[in-house]
Chains A and B, each alone.
Chain A
Amino acid sequence: MSHLDDPLRAGDDGGGALLRTISARRGGIGVAALLAITGLVFTWQAALSDFGDFALPGPGFFPLILGILVVVLAVVIGVGDWLQVASGEAVALGHRDVLIVLAAMLAVPPLFEPLGAYVTLGLFGAALLVLIARCSLLVAGLSAAIGMAACWYFFQVLLALRLPIGPF
């Protein structure tokens, strides 16, 4: 993907102060560990459901087997990565724009219904335009307002989709 003819981004080859490069081996082990924990949590939850027996499985049968399988696979992948000779391959995490988008997106679900769809998404869009596209506040605000008006017309008027309007 490219940022095309965007001069503002052309010179930004850094990615922010939080950008960290970690070895693919170490990162792979970390991801495998997280997957193993996920598998363990699901295994524990599945164990609370009725397992039945092998001839007539209960609701917990399939999830329990799969949970254990996820743990086993994660361990195998993690150990495989651990035993791997360091290749020097690196993975970059923590890019500035990625973190901004993630943080902005995390704010959307809790505000979406209380504040209303159009206000929440308008603020979200304006924030991204200022922080990612580096627009002025005025341009970002105007663009977000026009965008939300278009969204309202398309979704609410044309498609009759009732999105939450919040306290307004």
Chain B
Amino acid sequence: MSSEDALRQSWPPLRLTAPALVALGFLVIPLVAVVLRVPWSSFVSDLASTGARNALWLSLVTSSISAGLCLLFGVPLAWLLARTQFRGRSLLRAAVTLPLVLPPVVGGVALLLAFGREGLIGRWLDTWFGVTIPFTAAAVVLAQTFVALPFLVISVEGAFRASDERYDDAAATLGASRWLTFRRVTLPLAMPGVFSGAVLSWARALGEFGATITFAGNFPGTTRTMPTEVYLALNSDPGSAIALSMVLILVSIVVLSLLRERWLTGVSV
């Protein structure tokens, strides 16, 4: 039997391929539409406009800080979930995962109620330190961290779970405290997961819109991030909106290629 015959024999049924192609087209065609409409001749000048430049810069800085915060606080949380046993751990994990499925706008409202001037914590920040968070660049960072943190925690927890816990035992019998074991054994072994978690959370922070606009507003230069700029520019300056969208698409493609090995093919150890 030639390979052609084999191909024909294994050709999947139309009832499956037709909807599959519709799904594929649905996902790809809109992106192609953006690429086709990009005003390439004015692409650079569109991005160089003050509004676009400010938004681009603000987004890069805030999402990088958010990713850093996610690493700083998320990795320990992931370790706690993966390596310790306590009552209510599954409840805790559910709480950590909730922002993944929560509408971002609701996240923004929740942040306002927590960190707003009248909020649960914000009230004290205001009276004790005179610090007001909402509608500042700090609020942008908090909103992005809120939606990005679950991505990091889940990715890193998976990596911790996938690496053999007996390496920790081996380190302990060699005299390493839990902290030293974490630093020299657990964390290095989970590094691929930490890396993909960091990239994912950075990308999620970069794309955040709903929570940001609710909690931080959209003041040019301080809280107007790229997604907000795209949304606003679409009416006033569609060329700039499309150019910025194109930038975000390119960033997504780069992120995807970075994660291709590590994330899409499953957790690597």
Whether A and B are associated in the same complex: the answer reads no
Residues of B within 8 A of A (CB): none
